C-alpha cells in the first residue's frame, strides 16, 4: 500500500512512532484526544486524507481544528487549495488555515498572503485580523523571497498598528535569514525598527525587538564585528536592570531576555543557558493583550 493510501489512523501511528520516548510520554493526553477525533471521523466514513480534504469546510469545529492542525503537521500539499478557499470564507479559523498553509509552503499561498499584507498596508484602516493571518501565513514559509521579507518588515515598522501585531511581525521577521545581510536595505530597516522598538512603551514590541536584535547580531563568523549593535547596549542594560515583568506569553522576565540580547551582541551567539532555561521552573506566563 502506498503512503498516500494509508488511513488516518495508520498515518497517526507512524507520526507517533517517529517521536522520542520522552516526547511520547509528554504527549499522551493530546494523543488520546487526537485518536478520538480520528475515530469520530471514521464513524463518519472519513478515513483517508483525500476524504478529509473533501469534507474539511463542513466539519464541526473540534474536528475541523484537529484537521487543520494535522495538515500543519503533515504539510499535506493536496490540502492547499481547500485551505486557501477556507481562508477567504471561514473567518473563525483563518489563523489556523494560515498556519497550515505556511507549513505546507505552497507558492499559491505565499502569493496570497503577500497580496493580503500589501492590500491591508495600503488601506486607510488596515484590518488587523487579515494582517495577523498574513503574518502567520508567511512566518514559517521556507521561500527565500524578498516579497515575504518586505511585507513582514513593513508591518513591524508601522507604529500606527497595535503592539501585538507589530510584535508578531517581529517574531516572524527574526526567523528570516535575509535580514542578517548587513549590505541590504532590509537589514537597515529591520535594525532601525528593532533599535527603536527597545524604547517602545508596548511590551510586545519591546520584547520582540530584543529577539530581532539577537537575530541580527547572531553570526557564525567570529571575525565579524558587532560594533554596530553597541548603540542598543545602554537600553538593553536598563531593561536588564529594571524591567522584571514576565515576557508576553512566556515564563521568563523581560530582564532575562535583555541579558540574552547583550550576550549575543558581545559574543555573536546565544548563551547555552538562555532565559527560557534559566527560568524553566516558573509556571506563570506573561499576559498577552489583543485589542
| Burial group, residue 57, by CB count within 10 angstroms (0-12, 13-18, 19+) | middle
pTM score, two decimals? 0.89
Task: Give the Cα-Cα-Cα angle 14, 19, 25 (nearest 5 degrees).
Answer: 115
Return the closest-CA partner of residue 102 out of 120, 88, 87, 90: 87
Q: What is the pLDDT of residue 291?
A: 72
φ and ψ of 181, to 5 deg? -75, 105
CA-wise closest residue to 222 among 181, 180, 174, 266: 266
Return the pLDDT at 142.
67
CA 286 to chain centre: 18
| Predicted local confidence at residue 220, as pLDDT | 58
The list of the chain residues with pLDDT below 50 reads 1-3
Contact 156, 193 (CB under 8 A): yes
Strand partners, 246: 253
How far, in whole angstroms, is CA 180 from its chain's centroid? 18
Q: How far is CA 178 from CA 131, 175, 209, 222, 258, in A?
A: 21, 9, 17, 19, 23
CA-CA distance, 194 to 156, in Å (whole number)?
9
Residues 6+ apart with CB under 8 A from 121: 131, 151, 154, 155, 158
Query: Other CB atoms closer than 10 Å to residue 239's CB: what's the count?
Result: 25
Amino acid at each position: 500500500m502506498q503512503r498516500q493510501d494509508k488511513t488516518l489512523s495508520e498515518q497517526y501511528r507512524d507520526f507517533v512512532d517517529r517521536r522520542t520516548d520522552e516526547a511520547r510520554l509528554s504527549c499522551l493526553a493530546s494523543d488520546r484526544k487526537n485518536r478520538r477525533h480520528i475515530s469520530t471521523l471514521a464513524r463518519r466514513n472519513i478515513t483517508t486524507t483525500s476524504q478529509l480534504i473533501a469534507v474539511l469546510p463542513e466539519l464541526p469545529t473540534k474536528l475541523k481544528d484537529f484537521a487543520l492542525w494535522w495538515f500543519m503537521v503533515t504539510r499535506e500539499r493536496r490540502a492547499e487549495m481547500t485551505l486557501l478557499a477556507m481562508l477567504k470564507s471561514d473567518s473563525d479559523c483563518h489563523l489556523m488555515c494560515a498556519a497550515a498553509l505556511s507549513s505546507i509552503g505552497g507558492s499559491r499561498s505565499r502569493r496570497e498572503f503577500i497580496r493580503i499584507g500589501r492590500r491591508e498596508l495600503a488601506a486607510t484602516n488596515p484590518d488587523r485580523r487579515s494582517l495577523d493571518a498574513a503574518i502567520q501565513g508567511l512566518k514559517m514559509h521556507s521561500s527565500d523571497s524578498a516579497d515575504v521579507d518586505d511585507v513582514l518588515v513593513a508591518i513591524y515598522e508601522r507604529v500606527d498598528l497595535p503592539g501585538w501585531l507589530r510584535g508578531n511581525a517581529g517574531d516572524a521577521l527574526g526567523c528570516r535569514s535575509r535580514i542578517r545581510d548587513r549590505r541590504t536595505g532590509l537589514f537597515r530597516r529591520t535594525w532601525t525598527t528593532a533599535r527603536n522598538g527597545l524604547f517602545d512603551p508596548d511590551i510586545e514590541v519591546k520584547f520582540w525587538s530584543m529577539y530581532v536584535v539577537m537575530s541580527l547580531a547572531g553570526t557564525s563568523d567570529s571575525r565579524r564585528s558587532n560594533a554596530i549593535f553597541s548603540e542598543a547596549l545602554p537600553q538593553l542594560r536598563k531593561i536588564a536592570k529594571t524591567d522584571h515583568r514576565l515576557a508576553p506569553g512566556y515564563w521568563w522576565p523581560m530582564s532575562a531576555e535583555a541579558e540574552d540580547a547583550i550576550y549575543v551582541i558581545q559574543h555573536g551567539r546565544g548563551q547555552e543557558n538562555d532565559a527560557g532555561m534559566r527560568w524553566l521552573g516558573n509556571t506563570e506566563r506573561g499576559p498577552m493583550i489583543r485589542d
